[in-house]
Amino acid sequence: MSIVFDEKSKVFCLVTRNTEYQIKINEIGIVLHTYYGKRVGGYDMSYLYRKMDRGFSGNPYECRNKRGMSSDTLPQEYSTDGAGDYRVSALSVRLSNGSGTCDLRYRGHDIFSGREELKGLPYVRAEEDKVDTLRLYLEDKTAGLLVTLSYQVFEEKDIISRYTVIKNESEEALFIDKAASACMDIVGKELDLISFHGRHAFERQPERRRVGHEISRISSKRGTSSHHNNPFVILCDRDTGEWHGDSYGVMLIYSGEHAQEIEKDQAGSIRVVSGIADDHFRWKLTPGEEFVTPEAMLAFTDKGLSELSCLFHRIIRENICPEQFRSIKRPVLMNNWEGTYFDFDDEKIMDIADSAAEAGCEMLVLDDGWFGERNDDHAGLGDWVVNKNKLRSGLARIADHVESLGMKFGLWFEPEMVNEDSDLYRTHPEWALTDPDRKPVMGRDQLVLDMSRPEVVDYLYESISAILQSAKISYVKWDFNRSLANVFSRGVPSDRQGEVSHRFVLGSYDLMERLRESFPDVMIEGCSGGGGRFDAGIMFYSPQIWCSDNTEAINRLRIQKGTSYAYPVSTIGSHVSASPNHQTGREVPLMTRAIIAMAGTFGYELDPRQLSEDDKAMIREQIKTFNRFYDLIQRGRYLRLSDDLDEEYFTSWGFVSEDRSEALVSLVVTDVRANPEVMYVKMRGLDPDALYEVDNVLSSCERVPENEAGARENIVGQTYSGAALMNGGYAIDPMFGCYPSIQVHFVKK
């Protein structure tokens, strides 16, 4: 059992392979968070917290003569409002008498092996892992509230997940104004905060700063997890780097409005609270009702950011993404969006399919524009019936043609949206989220459907199911192309409008779940204008998500690197698009574009009819190479090999298989120079005593690099010891030209 309770000291230890998380019930029943870090063998770590009388930090009534005891300075597992803790709170309620005070005390606990599934919300699946659960019951007798903190310990994976259930045990309705998933206080450390900000077409850029006394709030109030602030934060020692140092990761498994709040208090203790954002949230809880928060994942390592990423990559791959798509090889796809945009008909799509098949692609995805009156982005969303003006012979014929070429067929949907110019909106204007007394805010000329209404979810389930049954469709690209505004539902009374943005997310999850149950072999690729809903919540239904609408390879280096801190390569949708690129106009060689897209799910998004025979031959070689290294790329350990200084010149990353028998190193020169330095890439995770031989090289340069000793034919067959590659580094001679690149595969001899 990875959870131990010591009756005498009242300490709970949650122990994983390398970490320990301690909770202590203090003498007046306050549930304290006393430790999270490397294993300490169950030693009661509560000595770290010194009880001091701090002015203006009040005391619970029963401790009025013990001034060292204050909720304001105690490390808390689940902080509340109104009862003397002035730091960021996890729970905030408004009782029927108007009171906003909540004071939780320990009522009891349960420990059991296994875990309970969350109904209607994504969570960390137990799978084959040994999982133990601790349930802590906290109560506020005066308010009639029972709060259950549920901790799932994934011992081998070094991950603890948490969620909270709030139950109204009183006779009156009350309101929850804030209900976080997790709260944790860390003492005795100066920490840096790393968060991942961005914008449409430039997502998940790491930003690192020292945690100060102000409250840092990493959040979204856009209805989705957003391009702008990802629901993942890292807290780490000030000197933590890729390969050394303490770091904590907190990831919310949620796709809606979220907030991660980080605050250093007057005594230097640092609190992190993670959960649904409280900006628009107000949940009415009638007597006997429960509210369940989303689940959050926590991880700690003393081995640096690379190891922290690895922990999240593994749990997402193995315990969050749907099982069906874990061990199969997912197809290398050709998407027509940047190839045709809205300008296509069935003949053109079938020609594109022919060319894609010739280039070796394994799936054709028909993107936006195949339904309703969708000839541009002003009309048609909501009408999930084939656009007969464009696809005169119907979907089934295209799908059959694609299948006859030995490829799979995939289709684009944007289920949660509706255009004013659509039959759906004309019939059911009340199904859109709009304020009855105002003109709505428009985004891409579309409105958002009220997913909090079961009849809307039913309509979408039925119309999408009918399409999926009408043709051999193996894949759905599930898009979401605007932020929410005017969040008002005609389906609930005025005192429940604060529930709508969360109910919206629950409605989307319900639709995904129902479609997945009915069509288990259809793979969903998440998308929201690229990476606007790139989160572990969506990954529960969808093993890959389109990472960014920015397909420009050199920009992608930064977007994919930022994404890799939290999410595994197997989830990162990445395609080779045309050159010059449509978003930036930059030209990048085809091989460099492919080497960069191979740090993802890999595919193409261009018009293959425009490809020369040479390009097609090169693409066939790229797909063959990707497929050969598929397991290594999708399941190997991902390494960020270049640092900020290197990246003024080149960017490098790699993969090492779990058994250390092979490795793949990729490098792109982003700032080509005259008479330049040799590039040294220090590899990681190899067997120091083994010999590794280069057995495959891809490069954008004819001669790699352009000197005799470094020519491609001379690189293959070179042998190095693992220790040499890790300590001296792999030496790559200068490369010239336009964004030159190289990918080198090593096998253990």
State the catalytic residues. Answer: 479, 549
Size of the chain in residues: 749
Nearer to ligand GLA, 298 or 395 (CB): 395
Nearer to ligand GLA, 14 or 417 (CB): 417
**CB-based contact 81:102 (threshold 8 Å):** yes
Nearer to ligand GLA, 312 or 370 (CB): 370
Retrieve residue 378's tokens.
Answer: 């002003």
Largest CA distance in the chain: 86
**CB-based contact 71:28 (threshold 8 Å):** no
Please, what is the minimum distance in Å from the beta carbon of residue 749 to ligand GLA?
Answer: 43
Please, what is the minimum distance in Å from the beta carbon of residue 190 to ligand GLA?
Answer: 40
Restricting to residues 299-338, name those near ligand GLA by CB under 6 A. 337
Please, what is the minimum distance in Å from the beta carbon of residue 182 to ligand GLA?
Answer: 31
- What span, in angstroms and rounded, lies between the C-alpha atoms of 291 and 222? 22
- Tell me the window of 175-183, 202-210, 523-531, 738-746 that interacts with ligand GLA (CB under 6 A): 523-531
Q: Is residue 481 a contact residue for ligand GLA (CB under 6 A)?
A: yes
- The contact mask relative to ligand GLA for 404-443 (x = CB under 6 A, - = no) is --------x-------------------------------
Nearer to ligand GLA, 68 or 443 (CB): 443
Nearer to ligand GLA, 168 or 508 (CB): 508
Please, what is the minimum distance in Å from the beta carbon of residue 555 to ligand GLA?
Answer: 15
Q: Is residue 475 a contact residue for ligand GLA (CB under 6 A)?
A: no
- Tell me the window of 14-22, 191-199, 433-441, 522-530 that interacts with ligand GLA (CB under 6 A): 522-530
Total residues contacting ligand GLA by CB under 6 A comes to: 11
Q: Is residue 525 a contact residue for ligand GLA (CB under 6 A)?
A: no
- What span, in angstroms and rounded, lies between the C-alpha atoms of 138 and 166? 10
- Tell me the window of 296-304, 525-533, 628-636, 740-748 that interacts with ligand GLA (CB under 6 A): 525-533
Nearer to ligand GLA, 257 or 368 (CB): 368
- The contact mask relative to ligand GLA for 334-363 (x = CB under 6 A, - = no) is ---x--------------------------
- What span, in angstroms and rounded, lies between the C-alpha atoms of 372 and 478? 17
**∠566-568-573 over CA atoms, to 5°?**
110
Please, what is the minimum distance in Å from the beta carbon of residue 337 to ligand GLA?
Answer: 5
Please, what is the minimum distance in Å from the beta carbon of residue 673 to ligand GLA?
Answer: 35
Q: Are strands 363-366 and 408-413 parallel, antiparallel or unpaired?
A: parallel
- Tell me the window of 417-425, 527-535, 673-681, 695-703 that interacts with ligand GLA (CB under 6 A): 527-535
Nearer to ligand GLA, 410 or 705 (CB): 410
DSSP 537: H
State which of residues 103, 139, 535, 549 lies at the interface with ligand GLA (CB under 6 A): 549
Instruction: Classify residue 438 as exposed, middle or buried by CB count within 10 Å of its CB (0-12, 13-18, 19+).
Output: exposed
Number of DSSP helices (H) and strands (E) in the chain, helices first: 14, 39
**Cα 572 from chain centre:** 9
Retrieve residue 131's tokens.
Answer: 């999982």
Nearer to ligand GLA, 507 or 530 (CB): 530
Nearer to ligand GLA, 529 or 740 (CB): 529
**CB-based contact 78:31 (threshold 8 Å):** yes
State which of residues 103, 346, 368, 499 lies at the interface with ligand GLA (CB under 6 A): 368
Q: Is residue 527 a contact residue for ligand GLA (CB under 6 A)?
A: yes
Retrieve residue 614's tokens.
Answer: 């040479």
Instruction: Classify residue 388 as exposed, middle or buried by CB count within 10 Å of its CB (0-12, 13-18, 19+).
Output: exposed
State which of residues 331, 498, 529, 740 lies at the interface with ligand GLA (CB under 6 A): 529
Nearer to ligand GLA, 49 or 412 (CB): 412
Q: Is residue 151 a contact residue for ligand GLA (CB under 6 A)?
A: no
**CB-based contact 269:185 (threshold 8 Å):** yes
The amino acid at residue 588 is V
Nearest to 249 by CA among 321, 190, 301, 176: 301
Question: What is the b/e burial string over 104-124, where b = at least 16 CB atoms within 10 angstroms of the residue's CB?
Answer: bebeebebeeebeebeebbbb
- What span, in angstroms and rounded, lies between the C-alpha atoms of 303 and 239? 12
Please, what is the minimum distance in Å from the beta carbon of residue 449 to ligand GLA?
Answer: 17
Please, what is the minimum distance in Å from the beta carbon of residue 474 to ligand GLA?
Answer: 17
- What span, in angstroms and rounded, lies between the C-alpha atoms of 535 and 479? 14
Retrieve residue 592's tokens.
Answer: 């460099």
Nearer to ligand GLA, 12 or 480 (CB): 480
Restricting to residues 234-293, name those near ligand GLA by CB under 6 A. none
- What span, in angstroms and rounded, lies between the C-alpha atoms of 131 and 559? 34
Please, what is the minimum distance in Å from the beta carbon of residue 414 to ligand GLA?
Answer: 7
Start-to-end CA distance of the chain, whole Å, equals: 41
Please, what is the minimum distance in Å from the beta carbon of residue 271 to ligand GLA?
Answer: 36
With CB atoms as reference, the residue minimizing the distance to ligand GLA is 368
The three-state (H, E, C) secondary structure of 330-382, written as one string: CCCEEECHHHHCCCCCHHHHHHHHHHHHHCCCCEEEECCCCECCCCCCCECCC
Strands (E) located in 538-690: 544-546, 572-573, 575-577, 603-605, 637-640, 650-656, 662-669, 679-681
- Tell me the window of 21-29, 238-246, 524-532, 627-635 that interacts with ligand GLA (CB under 6 A): 524-532
- Tell me the window of 52-60, 396-404, 526-534, 652-660 that interacts with ligand GLA (CB under 6 A): 526-534
Retrieve residue 259's tokens.
Answer: 């907030």
Q: Is residue 546 a contact residue for ligand GLA (CB under 6 A)?
A: yes
- What span, in angstroms and rounded, lies between the C-alpha atoms of 653 and 639? 6
Nearest to 260 by CA among 277, 245, 246: 277
**CB-based contact 260:248 (threshold 8 Å):** no
How far, in Å, are 272, 308, 599, 731 from residue 726 at the CA level? Answer: 36, 20, 21, 11
Restricting to residues 107-146, name those near ligand GLA by CB under 6 A. none
Contacts of 119 by beta carbon, 8 Å cutoff, 6+ apart: 292
Nearer to ligand GLA, 337 or 475 (CB): 337
Nearer to ligand GLA, 574 or 657 (CB): 574
State which of residues 139, 158, 261, 367 lies at the interface with ligand GLA (CB under 6 A): 367
Please, what is the minimum distance in Å from the beta carbon of residue 591 to ligand GLA?
Answer: 23
Please, what is the minimum distance in Å from the beta carbon of residue 528 to ligand GLA?
Answer: 7
What value does the CA radius of gyration of the chain take, rounded to a whole number of Å?
27
- What span, in angstroms and rounded, lies between the C-alpha atoms of 553 and 597? 8
Q: Is residue 380 a contact residue for ligand GLA (CB under 6 A)?
A: no
State which of residues 257, 416, 479, 510 lies at the interface with ligand GLA (CB under 6 A): 479
Please, what is the minimum distance in Å from the beta carbon of residue 532 to ligand GLA?
Answer: 8
Q: Which residues bind ligand GLA (CB under 6 A)?
A: 337, 367-368, 412, 479, 481, 527, 529-530, 546, 549
